[in-house]
C-alpha cells in the first residue's frame, strides 16, 4: 500500500477490526495519533513505542503498537519496490513507441491530468479547505469514480466541535451502535433548558433534512449551512442511485448499501443515511420510520425503510402497517392470510394499478417481516397471523369464574390465573391484589360480599352485594326497628355470618341508627316516638393539617404516595383523602393549597404508580443479588422469582415496553452480569 493511503485508515477502523485493543486506541487518540499514518510516522521518528512511550501507555500497549508498525512497514517498502519495477517497464515500452503512438499516449495522459484536476477542484469545494477530507475524497474518487459522500459527511460530523452538532449527535441516532442519551441529561450537560435542547436537535438539526422547501432561507443563515450545501450537490450523490438500481425497498439489511457504507469507511447509522437519501432523492424515494422526521407517525415504526415513490404514489404503506398492527392486537384466533389477495382487495390503494400488485406484495412482505416478524410459508406463500400472545387480564378472570361455575375467592382466582399465565407480570409479582382492578372493571362480574368473593351477574341463583346490603334490604321491609338476632337470621339466608359481624357492620355504617333495647333501624326511615334513639358521640375528625402531616409521614416512610390497592386500610384511607384534595373536591384556603403544593413539589420523585414502585423494588433486589453473587439468578428455589422477573424485563426491553429510565436501569443490570 502507499504511505499516503495510511491516512485513511482511522483508529476507529483499527479498533473495530481488532488490529488494536480499546486501550491502545484510546492512548493513541489522546496523543493525537488518530490514523495509521501518524502511528507509523511516530514509530519511525522515535525508534519504537517502548523506547519513547506515549502518555498513559503501559508496557503491553507499547509492545502492541510496535508489533502493528513492524507488520505494516514491510508492506509499504515492498509496494515501493514494486512501483519502481513498473516505472522501469513503462519507460522501456515508451521508447519502443512510434511518434504518432507517443502523441496518442500524451493526449491520454493530458486527459487524465485534466480529469484529476477537475476532481481536485470539486473536492476542494466539498472539503471546505480541510486537507484530510480533501485527500480522502480525491484518492477515493480516482479509484472508484465517485466521491465518498457518506464518508465525507461522517468526517465533517466527527470533526465538528460546534456545541449544537455535538448535542444532536449525542441525542439522535446519527452513528452506528451509539446509545442515544436522554434529552434531560444532555440539556443538563450543556447547561441548557430541556426545551432549548429539544429545539436544537429536533428542529434546527433535523431541518437540514426537511423534505419540504419552506425552510431553505433558515438553512442558509444557520450554522448547519455547510451540511445543507453538501446535500444540495446532487450530482455528487448520483452514484447512490446506481447502487440501489433495481431495489424497490431499502432496509438496514440491504447488502449492497451496507457494503458501500463500509467501503466509504464511515460508521453512519442506516437510519441517518436513509434520511439523507430521502432528502436528496425525494423524487425517487419516500422514507418511513425515521426519527429525523419531526413526525409523530414516524415514531410508531420499529425500523426505517426507503420505498420507491413509483409505488408510494399508488399504495398507502403507512395505512397498511396500521391495519396489521390492529389485526395483531385484536386477533384471538390464529389464521393464515393470503397476502396477494389481501393486497389486491386492500383499501390502502391510492390509485389502483394491476401491474404493480406483485411489486407491492414483495414490499409489503419485507415490511411485515421486519416490523412484526411475519413471514410467508414456503408452500403456498400465506402469512400466519398468530393469536394475541397475552390475553387481557379482564377476560382471563371472567373465563376462570365462568368455568368454575360458582363464586370464587380472590386468592382462588389468582391460583387459576397463575396456572394459565405462568409468565405474566402479575404471576411473577405473586400478588393477588393486582387482579382486583380487573374484577371491578368487568361489567359481567360482581362482588358477593366484602370478603373478596366474586361472582358473575348472569348467575341469578347467587346472592349479590354485601352483608350490609342485605341488612338494609331487610330493614327497608320492616316498619319498626329490629333486633340483631332477627337481622342476623335474614342475612344468613344469603351469607354465612354471625351476630357479632352484623352488629359491627351496623355500628360502623352510616345508614343505621341504634335504639334502646339493642334495636336497629335505618336513618332515612321514620319510626314511632316510642323507640328511643341512643345518641353516640362520634370520633372527632382529624383536621386538614393533621391529615396532611399523616400523608407526609407516610411518603417519607414508604417512599411513595398512598396507593388505591393495598392490604393496609390506613393507606387506602390516606389515598382516598389525597384524591379528593388533588381533584379539588374539597375547598381549600390559600394556606392549605400552599401546603398541598409543597408536598407535590418536595416529593415529586415519589409520585409514581404502584406498578412502577413494584418494578423498582424488584430492580433493587435483583441489583443487590447480582452485586453480592456475581451471577444471574437461577430458575430454582428462592431465586425463581428474580429469574422470571429478569427474563420478563428482557422481553419488555426488546419489545420497547420499558420507560427510558427503566431501559437505562436494565442496561445497568446487564453490565453487572
Pairing between strand 383-385 and 335-337? Answer: antiparallel
Question: Is the pLDDT assigned to residue 357 strictly greater than 70?
Answer: yes
Phi and psi at residue 50, in whole multiples of 5°?
-75, -30
Among the ranges given (100-114, 522-536, 590-604), the one the predictor scored with the smallest mean pLDDT: 100-114
What does the block give as the cell for 387? 393469536
Residue whose entry in the numeric block shows the C-alpha cell 450537560: 189
Distances (CA, A) of 36 to 25, 155, 375, 383: 11, 16, 45, 51
Rg (CA), the chain: 37
Taking only the tens place, the pLDDT of each residue in 548-591 is 888 888 888 888 899 887 777 788 888 888 888 887 767 788 88
- Cβ partners under 8 Å of residue 673, min gap 6: 626, 631, 632
Q: How confident is the model at residue 660 (pLDDT cuts 50, 70, 90)?
A: confident
Closest among 464, 465, 504 to 484, alpha carbons compared: 504
Among the ranges given (33-42, 215-224, 616-625, 639-648), the one the predictor scored with the smallest mean pLDDT: 215-224
More confident residue, 668 or 101: 668
Percent of the chain with pLDDT over 70: 82
**Predicted local confidence at residue 215, as pLDDT:** 45
- In what helix (H) or strand (E) does residue 515 lie, and over which residues does it extend? strand 512-515
Cα–Cα distance, 571 to 457 (Å, whole number): 30
- Cβ partners under 8 Å of residue 580, min gap 6: 586
DSSP 606: G
More confident residue, 639 or 119: 639
Residue whose entry in the numeric block shows the C-alpha cell 404503506: 317
DSSP 32: T
More confident residue, 537 or 158: 158
**Predicted local confidence at residue 509, as pLDDT:** 61
Closest among 463, 430, 445 to 642, alpha carbons compared: 430
Indicate the SS3 state at residue 483. Answer: strand
Question: Is the pLDDT assigned to residue 129 strictly greater than 80?
Answer: no
Cα–Cα distance, 449 to 177 (Å, whole number): 57
What's the whole-number mean pLDDT along residues 31-51?
A: 86
Question: Is the pLDDT assigned to residue 128 strictly greater than 70?
Answer: no
What's the whole-number mean pLDDT along residues 517-525?
A: 85
More confident residue, 399 or 106: 399
Cα–Cα distance, 25 to 12 (Å, whole number): 8
DSSP 454: E
Question: Is the pLDDT assigned to residue 4 strictly greater than 80?
Answer: no
- In what helix (H) or strand (E) does residue 519 lie, and over which residues does it extend? strand 519-522
**Predicted local confidence at residue 221, as pLDDT:** 47
Q: Contacts from 191-200 at CB under 8 Å and sequence distance 24+? A: 197/167, 197/171, 200/164, 200/167, 200/168
**Predicted local confidence at residue 290, as pLDDT:** 84
**Predicted local confidence at residue 506, as pLDDT:** 81
627 within 8 A of 672, measured Cβ to Cβ? yes
CATH topology of domain 467-522: Arc Repressor Mutant, subunit A (1.10.10)
Among the ranges given (74-78, 432-436, 527-531, 576-580), the one the predictor scored with the smallest mean pLDDT: 74-78
Which range, 69-83, 164-178, 193-207, 278-292, is most confident?
Answer: 278-292
Count CB neighbours of 90 within 10 A: 9
What's the whole-number mean pLDDT along residues 624-648?
A: 83
- Cβ partners under 8 Å of residue 522, min gap 6: 472, 475, 476, 511, 512, 513
**Predicted local confidence at residue 298, as pLDDT:** 66
Question: Is the pLDDT assigned to residue 214 strictly greater than 60?
Answer: no
Closest among 462, 518, 460 to 495, alpha carbons compared: 462
Taking only the tens place, the pLDDT of each residue in 236-256 is 899 999 999 999 999 988 888
Cα–Cα distance, 18 to 350 (Å, whole number): 51
CB crowding 262-277: b at 16 or more within 10 Å, else e:
eebbbbbbbbbbbbbb
What's the whole-number mean pLDDT along residues 506-531?
A: 82
**Predicted local confidence at residue 216, as pLDDT:** 44
Taking only the tens place, the pLDDT of each residue in 186-201 is 888 888 888 888 887 7
- In what helix (H) or strand (E) does residue 399 lie, and over which residues does it extend? helix 393-404
Helices and strands, counts by H and E, the chain: 33, 11
Tell me the sheet residues that pair with 287.
Answer: 306
Cα–Cα distance, 579 to 588 (Å, whole number): 14
What does the block give as the cell for 211? 423534505
**Predicted local confidence at residue 167, as pLDDT:** 83
Could you state, in order of their start, the residue ranges of all structural domains in the chain?
5-96, 148-282, 314-385, 393-456, 467-522, 549-672
Pairing between strand 512-515 and 249-250? Answer: unpaired
H-type helices in 532-568, by residue range? 544-558
CATH topology of domain 393-456: Arc Repressor Mutant, subunit A (1.10.10)
Count CB neighbours of 599 within 10 A: 18
Closest among 520, 430, 509 to 474, alpha carbons compared: 520
Indicate the SS3 state at residue 628. Answer: helix
426 within 8 A of 434, measured Cβ to Cβ? yes
**Predicted local confidence at residue 212, as pLDDT:** 55
H-type helices in 128-254, by residue range? 131-144, 149-159, 163-171, 183-189, 194-198, 216-221, 225-232, 234-237, 239-243
Q: How confident is the model at residue 356 (pLDDT cuts 50, 70, 90)?
A: very high
CB crowding 302-335: b at 16 or more within 10 Å, else e:
ebbbbbbeebbebbebbebbeebeeebeeeeeee
Cα–Cα distance, 490 to 525 (Å, whole number): 19
Question: Is the pLDDT assigned to residue 147 strictly greater than 90?
Answer: no
Question: Is the pLDDT assigned to residue 462 strictly greater than 80?
Answer: no
What's the whole-number mean pLDDT along residues 617-633?
A: 85
Write down the pTM of the prediction: 0.46
**Predicted local confidence at residue 136, as pLDDT:** 84
Strand order in the sheet with 249-250: 249-250, 305-308, 285-288
Q: How confident is the model at residue 592 (pLDDT cuts 50, 70, 90)?
A: confident
Do the domains 393-456 and 467-522 sit in the same CATH topology, yes or no? yes
DSSP 365: H
429 within 8 A of 614, measured Cβ to Cβ? yes
CA angle, 86 then 90 then 91, to 5°: 120
Question: Is the pLDDT assigned to residue 299 strictly greater than 50?
Answer: yes
Closest among 544, 545, 512, 517 to 531, alpha carbons compared: 517
Cα–Cα distance, 214 to 218 (Å, whole number): 9
174 within 8 A of 274, measured Cβ to Cβ? no
Residue whose entry in the numeric block shows the C-alpha cell 360482581: 446
Among the ranges given (41-45, 98-102, 480-484), the one the predictor scored with the smallest mean pLDDT: 98-102
Closest among 30, 19, 26, 34 to 67, alpha carbons compared: 19
**Predicted local confidence at residue 79, as pLDDT:** 47
Taking only the tens place, the pLDDT of each residue in 391-403 is 678 788 888 888 8
Tell me the average pLDDT of the chain.
80
Amino acid at each position: 500500500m502507499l504511505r499516503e493511503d495510511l491516512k485513511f485508515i482511522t483508529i476507529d477502523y483499527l479498533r473495530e477490526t481488532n488490529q488494536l485493543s480499546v486501550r491502545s486506541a484510546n492512548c493513541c487518540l489522546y496523543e493525537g495519533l488518530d490514523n495509521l499514518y501518524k502511528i507509523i510516522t511516530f514509530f519511525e521518528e522515535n525508534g519504537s513505542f517502548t523506547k519513547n512511550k506515549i502518555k498513559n501507555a503501559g508496557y503491553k500497549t507499547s509492545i502492541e503498537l510496535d508489533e502493528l508498525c513492524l507488520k505494516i512497514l514491510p508492506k509499504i517498502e515492498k509496494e515501493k519496490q514494486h512501483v519502481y519495477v513498473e516505472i522501469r517497464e513503462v519507460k522501456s515500452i515508451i521508447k519502443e513507441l512510434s511518434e504518432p503512438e507517443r502523441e496518442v499516449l500524451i493526449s491520454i495522459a493530458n486527459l487524465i491530468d485534466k480529469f484529476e484536476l477537475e476532481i481536485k477542484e470539486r473536492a476542494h469545494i466539498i472539503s471546505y479547505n480541510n486537507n484530510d477530507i480533501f485527500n480522502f475524497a480525491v484518492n477515493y474518487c480516482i479509484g472508484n469514480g465517485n466521491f465518498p459522500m457518506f464518508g465525507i459527511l461522517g468526517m465533517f460530523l466527527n470533526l465538528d466541535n460546534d456545541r449544537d452538532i455535538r448535542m444532536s449527535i449525542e441525542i439522535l441516532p446519527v452513528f452506528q451502535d451509539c446509545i442515544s442519551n436522554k434529552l434531560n441529561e444532555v440539556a443538563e450537560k450543556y447547561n441548557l433548558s430541556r426545551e432549548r435542547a429539544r429545539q436544537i436537535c429536533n428542529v434546527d438539526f433535523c431541518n437540514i433534512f426537511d423534505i419540504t422547501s419552506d425552510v431553505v432561507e433558515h438553512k442558509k443563515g444557520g450554522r448547519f449551512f455547510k451540511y445543507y450545501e453538501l446535500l444540495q450537490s446532487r450530482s455528487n450523490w448520483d452514484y447512490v442511485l446506481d447502487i440501489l438500481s433495481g431495489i424497490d425497498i431499502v432496509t438496514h439489511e440491504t447488502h449492497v448499501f451496507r457494503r458501500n457504507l463500509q467501503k466509504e469507511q464511515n460508521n453512519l447509522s442506516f437510519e441517518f443515511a436513509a434520511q439523507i437519501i430521502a432528502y436528496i432523492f425525494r423524487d425517487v424515494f419516500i422514507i418511513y420510520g425515521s426519527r429525523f422526521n419531526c413526525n409523530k407517525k414516524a415514531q410508531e415504526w420499529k425500523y426505517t425503510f426507503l420505498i420507491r415513490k413509483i409505488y408510494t404514489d399508488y399504495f398507502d404503506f403507512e395505512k397498511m402497517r396500521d391495519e396489521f398492527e390492529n389485526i395483531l392486537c385484536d386477533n384471538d384466533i390464529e389464521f393464515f392470510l393470503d397476502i396477494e389477495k389481501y393486497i389486491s382487495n386492500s383499501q390502502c390503494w391510492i390509485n389502483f394499478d394491476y401491474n404493480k400488485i406483485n411489486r407491492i406484495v414483495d414490499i409489503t412482505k419485507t415490511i411485515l417481516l421486519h416490523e412484526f416478524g411475519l413471514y410467508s410459508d414456503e408452500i403456498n406463500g400465506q402469512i400466519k397471523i398468530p393469536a394475541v400472545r397475552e390475553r387481557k387480564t379482564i377476560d382471563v378472570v371472567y373465563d376462570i369464574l365462568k368455568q368454575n361455575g360458582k363464586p370464587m375467592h380472590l386468592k382462588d382466582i389468582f391460583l387459576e390465573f397463575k396456572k394459565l399465565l405462568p409468565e405474566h407480570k402479575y404471576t411473577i409479582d405473586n400478588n393477588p391484589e393486582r387482579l382486583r382492578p380487573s374484577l371491578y372493571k368487568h361489567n359481567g362480574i360482581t362482588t358477593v360480599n366484602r370478603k373478596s368473593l366474586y361472582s358473575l351477574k348472569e348467575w341469578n341463583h347467587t346472592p349479590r352485594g354485601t352483608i350490609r346490603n342485605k341488612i338494609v334490604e331487610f330493614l327497608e321491609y320492616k316498619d319498626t326497628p329490629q333486633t340483631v338476632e332477627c337481622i342476623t337470621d335474614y342475612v344468613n339466608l344469603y351469607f354465612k355470618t354471625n351476630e357479632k359481624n352484623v352488629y359491627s357492620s351496623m355500628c360502623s355504617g352510616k345508614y343505621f341508627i341504634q335504639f334502646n333495647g339493642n334495636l336497629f333501624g335505618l336513618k332515612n326511615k321514620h319510626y314511632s316516638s316510642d323507640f328511643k334513639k341512643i345518641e353516640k358521640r362520634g370520633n372527632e375528625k382529624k383536621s386538614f393539617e393533621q391529615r396532611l402531616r399523616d400523608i407526609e409521614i407516610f411518603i417519607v416512610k414508604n417512599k411513595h404516595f398512598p396507593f388505591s390497592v393495598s392490604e393496609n386500610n390506613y393507606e387506602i384511607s390516606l389515598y382516598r383523602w389525597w384524591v379528593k384534595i388533588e381533584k379539588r373536591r374539597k375547598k381549600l384556603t390559600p394556606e392549605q393549597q400552599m401546603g398541598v403544593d409543597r408536598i407535590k413539589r418536595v416529593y415529586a420523585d415519589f409520585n409514581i404508580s404502584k406498578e412502577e414502585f413494584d418494578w423498582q423494588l424488584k430492580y433493587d433486589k435483583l441489583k443487590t443479588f447480582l452485586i453480592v453473587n456475581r451471577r444471574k439468578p437461577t430458575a430454582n428455589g428462592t431465586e425463581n422469582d428474580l429469574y422470571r422477573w429478569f427474563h420478563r424485563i428482557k422481553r419488555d426491553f426488546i419489545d420497547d415496553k420499558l420507560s427510558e429510565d427503566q431501559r437505562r436501569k436494565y442496561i445497568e443490570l446487564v453490565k453487572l452480569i
